[in-house]
Amino acid sequence: MKPSSILAATVGAVLVAGTLTAVLTTGAQAAPVGAGSYTTTPAGPLPTGCGDLSTNPRQFVTANAPAGPVPTNDWWSNILFKRTDCAFGEPLHAHPVSFDTLPGGLGLSANTTPQISGTSTGVGEYHFPYVQDLLVGVAGLNAPRVMVDGWTDWTVSPSWTDGARTLRATIGHGLPFSYYQVTGGNAQLTVAAPQVWSNSGPMIGFTANGHEYAAYAPAGATWQVNGGTFTSTLAGRDYFSVLALPPGDRAALATSLGRYAHNHVSGTRVSYVYAPATSTVTTTYAFVTTQKEAGTAGTVAALYPHQWRALTGATPLSNSYVSARGQMKVLAGIGQFSTAMTFQGVLPEIPAVADDAGPDRATLDGYLAQVAGNPADFRGDDTYWTGKGLGRAARIAELADQLGNTGTRDAALNVIRTRLTDWFTASPGKTSRLFYYDRNWGTLIGYPASYGSDQELNDHHFHYGYFVAAAATLAKFDPQWATGGQYGGMVDLLIRDADNYDRSDGRFPYLRDFDIYAGHDWASGHGSFGAGNNQESSSEGMNFANALIQWGQATGNTAVRDAGVFLYTTQAAAIQEYWFDSRDANFPAGFGHKTVGMVWGDGAAYATWFSAEPEMIQGINMLPVTGGHLYLGNNPGYVRANYAELVANNGGAPGVWQDILWEFQALGDGDAALANFRNNSGFTSEEGESKAHTFHWIRNVAALGNVDTTVTGNHPMSAVFTRNGARTYVAANITSAPVTVTFSDGHTLAVGAGRTATNGAYTWSGGSAGGGTNPTPSPTPAPTASPSPSPSPSPSPTGSPSNSTLYLRADGTLGNPAPAGSAQIASAGGTNHDGVPTNATVFAASGLNLTRSAGTTTFDLFVDAGGTVANGTQVRVSYDLTGDGSWDRVETYRYFATDPVPGWEHYTASVGLSSATGTPGDLTNGRVRLEVWNAIGNGPSTVGTGNQSVIHL
C-alpha cells in the first residue's frame, strides 16, 4: 500500500512467440496473449511530468543512452521524471555519497550526521540529508538542464552542456569514486569550508565541511587553489575523478585507494545462481572499468550490511563508511565480488498439523462457513484492492483444501478464476478491469489504477504480486488455465512489468522495481523527493517475490522461480537490516525505534503514508501473512521485541489490524498469540484477511513452533520448525509427480503429487475454545484435490531394532513407550474406503532385526470417534523384510465400527484379516509400516499414542 497515454496509440503491440510485434490500431485494440489480451489504447491517466513526458519518456535522455524502456523506480529515476524541477530534479542518495544535479555540475555530500525528529514512542524519522560539500564541474558551466547519458545495473551517467562546455559524470551505489569527463574548460571543484592537506602533482587532498576527499587529475596535471575554488587544466586531457575517503589515515588512504582513480567504472552487472541442493543463492556483482592510465587494475566498492555479512572470497579493509544503511565496508582492487545467502524456503500455506475433532475444528469450520459465500470480499475495483481480495481468496482456498473442505476451496478458486480472466481480457469497448501496454514507457498499467500506479508508475510489484500469487494458487488446481495458450502469458507479462527477469526482453526495463545493489524494492516510480526514493511495505514486495517462486514452481518455469528466489533471499536479508535492524546495528543512536514503516534513500521513518497508528506503522511490513512470509520469523527474539515495542507505543494491546500483528507475533511466541486471539476474537479483520485464515495460521504456528533457520531443504517449497527441541519438517509438492525432499541435516520427506507433507513431533498446548487441552496431532499430510495416496513420513530408526513390541508415537514412528498423547485420523468424507488406505495416519519403524515366531501380528489401538456416528477405523500393516524398499507382506484388517460416545475404545486384531499378501518371515534390517484410516463415516477420529496403542510384530 502506498504512496507513486500515451495519446490514443496508432501503433499497438501483439505478443507473438514471446516477442512484442507492432500492429496498426485504430481506437481501442485488444492485443491477444493466448486466450487473454491487453489493450493498446489507454483507458485512464498516463505517466506525467515535465514537458511531453507522457508521450516521450526519453526527453531527458541523450542519444548515447541504451535503447529501450527507461528505468523507473530506481534510486536515480527522479532526473528522468523531473517532477519537482523540470531542469535538475532532487538529490540522489547512492551511498556512501549523495549527489545533486545543478546548473554548474554535480554536487557531492558525504554527510555522516543524522537528523532525528519525532519521539521514541510516536511517529519519528531519521535522515542523513544532502548537505553539499563540493560542486564538481567545468569552469563557467551554466547548463539549463541535466540529461541522462547512460545507465547500468546500479550506476547512472548524468551529463550537462551549455553549448560551450560539457560535463559527464558516472556515479553509483557503493562507489566512493565519482568519475568525470569534461570539454570546453578547466575542471573545477567549488569546496565548502575547505582545508587542503595535500596538493602534490595530480592529486589534491582536502577537507570539505569536515569530510575528507581527494581529487585525481591525469598524470602530469596539477591543481590550482584559489580559496574554495580548485581548478585543473587536466594536462590537456578530459578526465578526472573524486574520492570520498572513509575515516582513517587520510593521506595513506588517498594514496592506496588513489591507485584505482583512473579506472573509471563504465558498467555494472549482477548475476545470480540458485542451487536447490544447498538452498544457496550466490550473487555476483561485477564492475566494468575503462582504464584511463596504466596502473593497477580494479576498482573500489563499499558494501552494504546485507552484502558484507554474506561476502565470500574477499576481505574488506579495516576502514568503513557511515551511511543511512549503517556501516559500509570497503573492498579495493576488485573487478567483482560475490555473496552467498541461504534461501530458507516458502510454503503455499502453513500446514494444518493441529486440526482435531474438538472445539477448535468446529471454530475453524465456522469461520470458513462465514467466508464461503464471499471468499474475496473485494473492497474496491482498482488494481490494489482487487489484488487484496484475490490474496484473501487464495488463502481461503489453500486452507480449505488442507481441511478437505472442497466446497469452500472451489468457491474461492472460482472467484479467482473469474476475476483474473476478466482482468486478463481486453475486449473492444471495455474500459475497466483490463491492462494497457504503453510501448513508450515499456509498462503494463492496470485500470482502474490506484496509488499512482498509472501516472507515477508506483507500486506495480505490490499490486501485481497479489495477482500472480492468486494465479499460482489457481494453477495448482487448474493447470490448463495457467498454460501459455490460456492465461499464463498474461501472468508472465505482469511479472515482467514489475520485475522483468529476462535481460533479452526489450519490452520492459530489467528488474524495474528492484534496486539490485541496495537489495530491495523501491515503490515510487519517480522518486522525486528530497530524501530520495522510498518504500513502505517491504512485506508486499516479498509477496511479489514469493509469487514468482510459487508461479514458477506451479508452471515449471525455473527462470521465473529462480528470479523469485533471488529477489526473495536478497530482500529478506535487506529487510532484517534496514526495516527491522534486528541486530541493533544500523539505525542511528537516539532514533529510539526497533523498526520503521518506511525506508527512504537518505534514512527511514517510523511512519506510513496513510496512518500514524503504531499498529499500521509496524503492520504494514507484515502483511499479507502467507506461507511465503516465514522470513518474518527468522529471528524469533526480534519478533518478540518488535511486538513489545508496538504494545509500548500503542499504550496497550493493538486496537486495529490485530490479526496481522498476532500472526506476526506467533512466529516469535505462538502460545501468546493464540491466547490473544482466543481472548479477543471479536476484532474486525484487516481488509485482506479473514478470521478463518488468521485462526488457522496462529493455531498451527503455535503447534509448529519457531522457524528453524539452521536446516534447509533441497526443494524451494520446504521449511523446518522447532518447538521444545523437536523439529517438524514440511514440504509442499504442487507438481503432478511425487518428490522426495532431503534436508540439510539428512532428514528426508516423501511428498506425493499435489500434497503438503509433514513429519515431526507436534506439541499442542494452546488449549481449546471451550477449555481443556487439545490432543497431540498426527503428522498426517493434508488432503488435496489430487487422487494420489497420502505420502508416508520417512521413518527414523526407533532405537529398539530387536524389540517386537512397538508403540505408536506422536512423531510418526513405532518405538519405545512415550508420554501419552493422540493423533488425528482424517474423516472418510462420507465415501467408502474399505480396504484402501485414504488420508491415512502413518507410523513406521526401520532397521529391525527380528526372528519370526509362530505367532501372528497383533495390535491394540486406542481409538475414539467422539460423538460422531457410524465411523469405521481400519488398519493395514506392511512388512519390508530386508529393507530393500519393497513390501513383502501386507495385512489389511477389517474395520472397527466406533461408537458415538466420547472415550477410548480398543481396536484389536481380533476383528480378523480382510486380506493378506506375501509370506511372513524374519526381519533383517527391515521396515514395518502401520497405516490407520477411517474406512467409513463423516467425521475424524483420534488414535492414542505414546504408551497407549501398541503393535506386536
DSSP string, 95-134: SS-EEEEETTEEEEE-----EEEE-SSSSEEEE------E
pLDDT over threshold 70, residue 15: no
Q: Identify the pLDDT of residue 830.
A: 81
If one compares 847 and 434, the residue with the highest pLDDT of the two is: 434
Q: Identify the pLDDT of residue 381.
A: 97
pLDDT digits (tens, 9 = 90+) for 85-122: 899 999 999 999 999 999 999 999 999 999 999 988 88
If one compares 76 and 904, the residue with the highest pLDDT of the two is: 76
**How large is the average pLDDT for residues 306-326?**
98
Peptide bond into 96 cis (omega under 30): yes
Q: Identify the pLDDT of residue 872.
A: 87
Cα separation, 356 vs 768, whole angstroms: 10
Q: Identify the pLDDT of residue 640.
A: 98
pLDDT over threshold 80, residue 489: yes
If one compares 829 and 709, the residue with the highest pLDDT of the two is: 709
Tracing cell 488420508 back to the chain, one arrives at 839
Q: Identify the pLDDT of residue 860.
A: 85
Cα separation, 574 vs 298, whole angstroms: 27
If one compares 150 and 753, the residue with the highest pLDDT of the two is: 150
Q: What percent of the chain is predicted at pLDDT more than 90?
A: 80
pLDDT over threshold 90, residue 807: no
Residue 451's region, left for phi above 0, alpha for psi from -120 to 50, else beta, is left
What number of helices (H) and strands (E) belong to the chain? Answer: 15, 54
Q: Identify the pLDDT of residue 785.
A: 28
Return the exposure string of 232-258: e unless at least 16 CB atoms fall within 10 Å of the residue's CB, then b. bbbeebebbbbbbbbeeebeebbebbb
Q: Identify the pLDDT of residue 907.
A: 86
Based on the residue annotation, tell me whether 536 is a catalytic residue of this protein.
Answer: yes
pLDDT over threshold 80, residue 636: yes
CB 225, CB 195: distance < 8 Å? no
Cα separation, 507 vs 19, whole angstroms: 8
If one compares 98 and 799, the residue with the highest pLDDT of the two is: 98
Based on the residue annotation, tell me whether 90 is a catalytic residue of this protein.
Answer: no
Distances (CA, A) of 246 to 27, 189, 297, 934: 58, 20, 21, 70
Give how far the C-alpha of residue 846 lies from the chain's centroid of Cα atoms, to the nearest Å.
38
pLDDT digits (tens, 9 = 90+) for 155-181: 999 999 999 999 999 999 999 999 999
Active-site pick, 540, 811, 864, 931: 540
Low-confidence winner among 405-414, 800-809, 933-942 (lowest mean pLDDT) = 800-809
775: pLDDT confidence band, cut at 50, 70 and 90?
A: very low
Q: Identify the pLDDT of residue 901.
A: 65
Cα separation, 875 vs 879, whole angstroms: 13
**How large is the average pLDDT for residues 805-828?**
88
pLDDT digits (tens, 9 = 90+) for 362-393: 999 999 999 999 999 999 999 999 999 999 99
**How large is the average pLDDT for residues 860-874?**
85
pLDDT over threshold 60, residue 8: no
pLDDT digits (tens, 9 = 90+) for 16-57: 333 333 332 334 589 999 999 999 999 999 998 888 888 999
pLDDT digits (tens, 9 = 90+) for 499-538: 999 999 999 999 999 999 999 999 999 999 999 999 999 9
Of the candidates 348, 550, 525, 549, the residue with the CA atom closest to the CA atom of residue 442 = 525
CB 804, CB 851: distance < 8 Å? no
Q: Identify the pLDDT of residue 292.
A: 98
pLDDT over threshold 90, residue 639: yes
pLDDT digits (tens, 9 = 90+) for 418-462: 999 999 999 988 999 999 999 999 999 999 999 999 999 999 999
Cα separation, 80 vs 935, whole angstroms: 67
Q: Is the dihedral of CA 419, 425, 429, 434 positive or negative?
A: positive
The strand ranges marked E within 292-399 are 299-303, 311-312, 320-323, 326-334, 336-342
Would you list the DSSP string of 762-805?
Answer: ----S--TTSS-PPPPP-PPPP-S--SPPPPPPPPP-S-TT-SE
Strand partners, 931: 842, 876
pLDDT digits (tens, 9 = 90+) for 269-300: 999 999 999 999 999 999 999 999 998 999 99
Tracing cell 509496524 back to the chain, one arrives at 618
User: How large is the C-alpha radius of gyration of the chain?
Assistant: 31
> What is the length of the chain?
953
Give how far the C-alpha of residue 857 lies from the chain's centroid of Cα atoms, to the nearest Å.
50
Active-site pick, 536, 602, 615, 931: 536
| DSSP assigned state of 909 | G
pLDDT digits (tens, 9 = 90+) for 641-685: 999 999 999 999 999 999 999 999 999 999 999 999 999 999 999
Q: Identify the pLDDT of residue 253.
A: 98
950: pLDDT confidence band, cut at 50, 70 and 90?
A: confident
Of the candidates 254, 213, 217, the residue with the CA atom closest to the CA atom of residue 107 = 213
pLDDT over threshold 80, residue 482: yes
pLDDT over threshold 70, residue 770: no
Low-confidence winner among 51-55, 303-307, 479-483 (lowest mean pLDDT) = 51-55
Active-site pick, 90, 459, 577, 931: 459
pLDDT digits (tens, 9 = 90+) for 233-272: 999 999 999 999 999 999 999 999 999 999 999 999 999 9
pLDDT over threshold 90, residue 309: yes
Based on the residue annotation, tell me whether 349 is a catalytic residue of this protein.
Answer: no
pLDDT over threshold 80, residue 755: yes
pLDDT over threshold 90, residue 831: no
Q: Identify the pLDDT of residue 590.
A: 94
Cα separation, 671 vs 390, whole angstroms: 30
Mean pLDDT over each residue of the chain, to the nearest integer? 90
Cα separation, 931 vs 923, whole angstroms: 19
pLDDT over threshold 80, residue 899: no
Q: Is residue 509 within a helix (H) or strand (E), and if so which, with residue range? A: none
pLDDT digits (tens, 9 = 90+) for 909-940: 877 888 999 999 988 988 999 999 999 888 89
3 state SS of 285: strand
736: pLDDT confidence band, cut at 50, 70 and 90?
A: confident
- Position 495: which residue type? I
pLDDT over threshold 80, residue 784: no
